[in-house]
Amino acid sequence: MKITVLGTRGIPDVLGGVETHCQHLYPLLVEQGFEVEVIARSPYVTYKTASYQGVKTKALWAPKKTSLEAIVHSTLAALSTLTDGSNVVHVHAIGPGLVVPLLRLMGKKVVFTHHGPDYQREKWGKLAKVVLKLGERFAVNYANEVIVISEVINDLIKRSYQRYDANLIFNGVNAPKAVAEEAVQCTLDRYQLSARGYIVAVGRFVEEKGFHDLLQAYAKSKLDMPLVLVGDSDHESAYSRSLKQAAKDIPGVILTGFLKGEALQVVFSQAKLFVMPSYHEGLPIALLEAMSYSLPVVVSDIAPNCAVELDSDCYFSVKNIDELSQTIQKRCVMPLQEYSPLLERYDWHKIANQTADVYNKVVGNKRD
């Protein structure tokens, strides 16, 4: 069975929740005998080979403009499936979800994964939010099968679209891989860091990640411990420029830019504390990764973060800078934590098996 995947910027090592999800999931499905091709967006990848761990990869042009990128690329990707021999097209995220009716008209079996209501993100204007909401409506109503990554999203589509048969399949996280001590020290030295001697936050520089709140909270805390922000913006904006300037004006803040592979693992895993001050998430893979490294965490009390079911003292009231500062101060002295019982349901092998079941079901699915 051939599965064509669209809606992701690309794999491997492209920052983003959907991208991380696809990078971990599809090699495991290839191991099960599926043929998988991921259609990536050309600005984010430079493929020297046509595969990644058995997953075929293809880059199609996409405009480097936030408002057009997803829909233009998804339309081109959808049209390319006419002749690619795919049995199933798997569409990720509600922006690309706009092309689900087109794919159905082309006679394709479609699986749609809802990663979160992106129209709630701070960066989008009114028109963009209307378009994203329409993408959600099209995808949820017209996909043969729908996958949701959390109960929060499942409740949303039941309430908004009366879709009661979605498949709940969580995001996952891998067990950490060992990194040679030399490589660890080399990466830490590059940013003048010491193991277990800094706070880390990871994500794109967009409003809904709440990094501006984190900078203010860190400045208030007056901690003698660096704050490392790992990430950047896909498209430079007034917000990302102001965030970087604010970071430069606060002593102790270190900007690494985008990191990938071993460098990302080292900076992430060797921290003393992980902070996620987000206003919006689907099911936060970065939080799951921090937990896999046993880091103490501080996260906003939005519903997707609360669904992970951490201890109550890990949470602070979203957008409350004073409470965030106080929670950071309390938890930055804590030892490494044990999260194994919580992480059991986020196993990628289990997730791959559940996704394979959906593919096998959709091939014979009679739903219209």
Q: Per the domain annotation, does 19 fall within a domain?
A: yes
Same domain, 41 and 121: yes
**Hey, what's the torsion of the CAs at 115, 117, 122, 125, to 10 degrees?**
120
Please check whether residues 166 and 206 belong to one and the same domain. Answer: no
Structure-block tokens of residue 207: 């409003």
**So what's the pLDDT on residue 16?**
85
Residues 191 and 282 in one domain: yes
CATH code for position 247? 3.40.50.2000
The owner of tokens 């409506």 is 137
Tell me: do 148 and 220 sit in the same domain.
no
| Structure-block tokens of residue 350 | 């289990």
185 and 87 co-located in one domain: no
pLDDT at 366: 52
Question: 168 lies in a domain?
Answer: yes
Indicate whether 308 belongs to any domain: yes
Q: What pLDDT does 6 receive?
A: 97
Q: What span, in angstroms and rounded, lies between the C-alpha atoms of 214 and 229?
A: 10
317 belongs to a structural domain: yes
Same-domain check for residues 80 and 124 = yes
Structural domains of the chain, count? 2
Same domain, 56 and 106: yes
Q: Give the tens place of pLDDT for each residue, 232-268.
A: 998 889 999 999 999 999 999 999 999 988 999 999 9
Mean pLDDT of each 10-residue bin along the chain, 368 residues long: 96 89 96 97 86 95 86 96 96 97 97 92 84 96 97 95 97 89 95 97 94 98 96 90 96 95 94 96 90 97 94 97 98 95 93 97 70
* Domain assignment of residue 368, yes or no: no
Query: Does residue 186 share a domain with residue 155?
Result: no
| Shared-domain flag, residues 322 and 251 | yes
pLDDT tens-digit map of 270-293:
999 999 999 998 888 899 999 999
- Who contacts 213 (Cβ-Cβ below 8 Å, separation ≥6)? 277, 319, 321, 324
CA distance 142 to 163: 10
Which structural domain, as residue segments, surrounds residue 229? 181-345
Task: Verify that 72 and 204 share a domain, yes or no.
Answer: no
**What per-residue confidence (pLDDT) applies to 367?**
46
Q: What is the pLDDT of residue 169?
A: 97
pTM across the whole model = 0.84
| Residue 158 and residue 68 share a domain | yes
Residues 157 and 212 placed together within one structural domain of the fold: no
